[in-house]
Amino acid sequence: MRVLGGTLALAFLGMLAIQPAKAGNFGNSSEIVVVTHIDIIPNSAGVAPPAAVQLLKQFVVDSREDPGVKYFTLITWDPTKNHFQLLEVYKDMHSFDEHVSESHTIEFRDDLQPYIGAPYDERLYQPSER
């Protein structure tokens, strides 16, 4: 199942690299793309507890206001109800560093700890030079 989640994330990155580049919105070598895989411990119904989902959704809302954030969203693969991905694009590395230093990011990561079933898997990418 993690392979499919990784495939979805790579498909997203491919779409960002191809489509918006035509409009000049993506592809700047200083931009940072982040894909974070978050696996929540499911409740007895096999879904992520509502409190964990609310934490994720609020984090997206708060993060979209951070300086240098160009894109920030939460996705999930429909058959699984407890695996999520954060897809993020930052203007540059400084913007990403500022985001992870924000109090709302630190609080989110602390508050999420009791819910996660696997390590917080945050991966940074940059557009490749052509």
Q: List Cβ neighbours of 28 (8 Å cut-off, separation of 6 or more).
A: 127
Domains contained in the chain, number: 1
Q: In this predicted model, what pLDDT tens digit does every residue of 2-48 receive, in sequence order?
A: 555 555 454 454 444 433 433 345 556 799 999 999 999 999 989 99
The range of the structural domain enclosing residue 32 comes to: 2-125
pLDDT the model gives residue 47: 93
What's the CATH code of the domain at 84?
3.30.70.100
pLDDT at 109 over 70: yes
Q: Give backbone dihedrals phi and psi of 115, rounded to 5 degrees, phi first.
A: -100, -20
Amino acid at 33: V
Residue 130: inside a domain? no
Contact 118, 39 (CB under 8 A): yes
pLDDT the model gives residue 19: 39
Residue 101: inside a domain? yes
Q: In this predicted model, what pLDDT tens digit does every residue of 84-106 receive, in sequence order?
A: 999 999 999 999 999 999 999 99
pLDDT the model gives residue 122: 96
What angle (nearest 5°) sits at the alpha carbon of residue 31, between those of residues 89 and 5?
Answer: 40
R_g over Cα of the chain: 15
